[in-house]
């Protein structure tokens, strides 16, 4: 059965493989997405290491001169997606978007390197990627943490990857819609509109894109110019984990200066993460940098922080919190607390389960020794696949497959989970 699932997952990867990059899924997302690629490379690495390295190499070929790695690379024109290159207007020869996405590549590269069968190829690729990933991390702390707090802001909900999370509702309501050029959404032609963000949210997403474009995508200005500045514990947890892993990788490769600075980023970030902890919710919360207030919204962002090496007592508290949530749903981990009135089990990041997040939370909690909850998370993850195939996301109670189908990173996570020590007993 397990081998059968792995073969099916490989079929999904093959279908979405465009040779030097993969699309997340046919139709809905026809280009290369940043964190999709990094996580998908983990799946490839189990059966084709060269292809895994190529995926990440392609992504970093499109890194900007200032260090940013954009969230979409528009390799081939396709008018089935909105917003396309004309809306972003970043002026790149091969067009890209202008915002970024969770920085999970440092983690992925270290993991692929550590277990590589072809050590020579792994060393060569890791050595080439190391300074580029580090430049991206430096870019984050330079441009998105101007006051040196140790935590970075996102300036667009799409940067978090959790596009329509309830976390953003109040802050997004402050983003205007006046002056947004008329547009036609394409996502709702490929996926059920009830599973996707609303039109109102899209108008605000596009206002932000137009606003940043009016600054010529000058990253030294965008943080302060954005009416949406949010410190997401999940986003920061991923960045901190990647900095920590890059430090370890750099040490292995004898790149001591990168190791030193990466470890300093990660140590400072872990200490600063304490400012996001809420005893009332038993988890981390987002900080709205415009109002300087914690956002009272218990989402998966505050659980995903466990991907980085938070203190043991915090990891234990997160494990207990997930255990409690697990009593209210059939499948862990819902992207929002089901006890909250805004929870919606079908709508993208307002309740559904995502396998990539399950994988990252399980990995962090495994490192923290929270093995019972890890077993439940990975068992639920595989049950979802058996029940509903390789969907983009799933209803945490009915397992209804939502969003796109034949999804690359879902398939990659199945291979990764089944082939590693995190596999269900």
Active-site amino acid positions: 163, 392
Q: Rounded CA gap, 153 and 226, in Å? A: 10
Residue 5: count of CB within 10 angstroms of its CB:
18
> In the 8-state DSSP scheme, what is residue 153?
P
- CA neighbours within 13 Å on the CB side: how many for 287? 17
Q: Does an H or E element contain 288, and which?
A: strand 287-288
Q: Is the dihedral of CA 309, 103, 287, 340 positive or negative?
A: negative
Site for ligand DGY in 165-204 (CB under 6 A): 187
Distance, C-alpha 364 to centroid of its chain? 15
Q: Rounded CA gap, 343 and 336, in Å? A: 6
Q: Which is nearer to ligand DGY, 72 or 329 (CB)?
A: 72
Q: Does an H or E element contain 66, and which?
A: none
Measured at CB, which residue is nearest to ligand DGY? 158
Q: Which is nearer to ligand DGY, 206 or 365 (CB)?
A: 206
Interaction of residue 380 with ligand DGY, rule CB under 6 A = no
Q: Which is nearer to ligand DGY, 266 or 335 (CB)?
A: 335
Q: Does an H or E element contain 350, and which?
A: none
Q: Which is nearer to ligand DGY, 64 or 205 (CB)?
A: 205
Q: Which is nearer to ligand DGY, 31 or 139 (CB)?
A: 31
Shortest CB 72 distance to ligand DGY, Å: 6
Q: Rounded CA gap, 89 and 217, in Å? A: 9
Site for ligand DGY in 211-230 (CB under 6 A): none
One residue of 49, 55, 68, 163 binding ligand DGY per CB under 6 A = 163
x/- binding map, residues 131-160, to ligand DGY, per CB under 6 A? ---------------------------x--
In degrees and rounded to multiples of 5, residue 162 shows phi and psi of -105, 65
x/- binding map, residues 40-79, to ligand DGY, per CB under 6 A? -------------------------------x--------
Which stretches of the chain bind ligand DGY, using CB under 6 A?
71, 158, 163, 187
């Amino acid at each position: 059965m397990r081998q059968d699932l792995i073969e099916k997952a490989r079929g999904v990867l093959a279908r979405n493989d465009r040779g030097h990059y993969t699309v997340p899924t046919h139709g809905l997302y026809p280009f290369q997405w940043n964190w999709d690629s990094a996580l998908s490379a983990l799946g490839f690495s189990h059966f084709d290491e060269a292809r895994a390295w190529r995926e990440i190499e392609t992504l970093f070929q499109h890194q900007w001169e200032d260090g940013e790695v954009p969230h979409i690379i528009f390799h081939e024109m396709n008018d089935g997606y909105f917003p396309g290159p004309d809306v972003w207007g970043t002026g790149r020869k091969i067009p890209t978007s202008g915002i970024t996405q969770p920085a999970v590549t440092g983690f992925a590269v270290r993991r692929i390197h550590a277990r590589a069968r072809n050590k020579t190829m792994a060393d060569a690729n890791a050595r080439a990627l190391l300074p580029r990933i580090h430049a991206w991390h430096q870019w984050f702390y330079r441009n998105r943490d101007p006051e040196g707090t140790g935590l970075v802001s996102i300036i667009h909900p799409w940067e978090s990857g959790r596009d329509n999370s309830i976390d953003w509702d109040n802050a997004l309501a402050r983003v205007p819609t006046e002056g947004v050029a008329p547009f036609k959404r394409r996502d709702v032609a490929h996926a059920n509109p009830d599973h996707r963000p609303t039109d109102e949210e899209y108008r605000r997403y596009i206002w932000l894109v137009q606003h940043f474009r009016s600054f010529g995508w000058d990253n030294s200005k965008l943080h302060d110019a954005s009416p949406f500045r949010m410190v997401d514990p999940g986003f920061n947890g991923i960045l901190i984990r990647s900095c920590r892993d890059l430090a370890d990788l750099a040490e292995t490769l004898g790149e001591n200066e990168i190791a030193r600075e990466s470890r300093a980023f990660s140590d400072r970030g872990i200490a600063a993460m304490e400012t996001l902890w809420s005893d009332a919710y038993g988890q981390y919360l987002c900080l709205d940098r415009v109002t300087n207030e914690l956002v009272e919204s218990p989402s998966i962002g505050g659980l995903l922080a466990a991907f980085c090496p938070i203190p043991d007592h915090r990891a234990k508290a997160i494990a207990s919190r997930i255990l409690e949530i697990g009593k209210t749903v059939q499948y862990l981990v819902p992207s929002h607390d089901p006890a909250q009135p805004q929870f919606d089990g079908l709508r993208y990041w307002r309740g559904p389960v995502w396998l990539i997040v399950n994988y990252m939370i399980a990995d962090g909690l495994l490192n923290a020794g929270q093995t019972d909850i890890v077993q439940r998370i990975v068992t639920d993850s595989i049950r979802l696949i058996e029940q509903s195939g390789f969907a983009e996301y799933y209803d945490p109670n009915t397992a209804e497959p939502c969003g796109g189908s034949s999804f690359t990173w879902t398939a990659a996570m199945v291979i990764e989970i089944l082939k590693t020590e995190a596999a269900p007993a």
